[in-house]
Amino acid sequence: MSELEFIAADPASPAWRSPLGDALADAPAGIRDVSAEVDGAVEARLGPAAGLAGIEVAGARARQLLRRLTDLDPDAAPAIGPVASVRTLLVVADDDRLRLWFPQEYSDHMAVCVLDAAAGVEWA
């Protein structure tokens, strides 16, 4: 087993390919892929190594968008529950930055749902 090697996901590497890269390519400002970004104690064991993908929703309307997707309360975060019918970990990075962590197999579904909910929210 000495030949077995694990590597960390590095978004700067040309080999890195996020499961959300294409799905969020045309996302409005404030909605971005954070699958390779892990900061804070709650997120310390998340990301690609855990098979998870992450979407960050930032801005003054982030909580409004979240209310369109789930009944989870950002004031009680971190919280786990359904977001767009997918079991999701909700983490509040700042007052206006929310992160959704979910199994990467649901990346396309979550991206579509988040972008659809964002279409009804004014991001001004």
What would you report as the CA-atom Rg of the chain, rounded to the nearest whole angstrom? 15
Tens of pLDDT along the chain (124 residues) come to 456 555 555 556 655 567 888 889 888 889 998 887 766 545 555 555 567 889 999 998 899 889 999 999 988 888 999 999 999 999 998 878 999 999 989 999 999 999 999 987 775 4
pLDDT digits (tens, 9 = 90+) for 25-45: 888 889 998 887 766 545 555
What integer pLDDT is reported at residue 51 of this predicted model?
77
Per-domain boundaries in the chain: 31-119
From the options 3.30.1360.120, 3.40.50.720, 2.30.30.230, 3.90.25.10, give the CATH code of 31-119.
3.30.1360.120
36 contact partners, CB below 8 Å, separation of at least 6: 9, 10, 11, 16, 18, 47, 48
- Contact between 36 and 47 (Cβ < 8 Å): yes
